[in-house]
Amino acid sequence: MADRINFIMDRLLPNGHAPCEDCCSRTKFTPKEDAKLLKLVQESGRSPNWREISNIMQSRTPRQCRERYQNYLCPRINHKDFTQEEDEMILKQFSIHGNKWNAIAKMFKGRTGNMIRNRWQTLIRKANKKSRSNKKKREKIIQESPKVSDEPESPIVKVDLEVKDKTPSIFDALFSMMDY
């Protein structure tokens, strides 16, 4: 019994999980693997058999092969930077469809669901950073502004205290930063 437990423990990965397959690699694809995968997909024709391709690749699962090809290596993928129009369309479509990335990607030529999701996350991160920066600027202006005076004849200008509570929505911030 102890031998059986030791055998099982020896087979576990450092994180305590069993490997998904004995042949499976969790490392990045190498340029050599990419070239081999591209060649195998081209040879297999219109609908590649990912299990067969995986067997030939030896160190990759069918899912790894399929996702690597469909998300990175497929010649139809547009690897250029996103345009401002694409950014605006991503935000608009997200407000309509939510996080249905593949559905949104169908509206873009040569963009995958992963690419759309990653770009959306980048836009949100930039907007949050800009929003935090704007909030700090607003707070600084309020602190440096003259205080409201109770005296009717006071020359001190009254400050609009509502400014403190006005924060742009995430989408306002996103659309206002489109001139980057």
Domains of the chain: 2-73 (1.10.10), 84-176 (no CATH)
pLDDT tens for each residue of 106-134 = 999 999 999 999 999 999 999 888 888 77
User: Distances from the Cα of 38 to the Cαs of 13, 32, 56, 60, 71, in angstroms?
Assistant: 30, 10, 12, 14, 13
Residues 6+ apart with CB under 8 A from 142: 159, 161, 163, 164
Whether residue 30 has pLDDT greater than 80: yes
Q: Is 144 left (phi over 0), alpha (psi -120 to 50) or beta?
A: alpha
Residue 132, pLDDT score: 80
What crossing angle do the helices spanning 113-144 and 84-97 adopt, rounded to 10°?
Answer: 100
Residue type, 22: D
pLDDT tens for each residue of 132-173 = 877 776 776 667 766 555 555 555 444 444 444 444 555 565
Whether residue 17 has pLDDT greater than 50: no
Residue 72, pLDDT score: 92
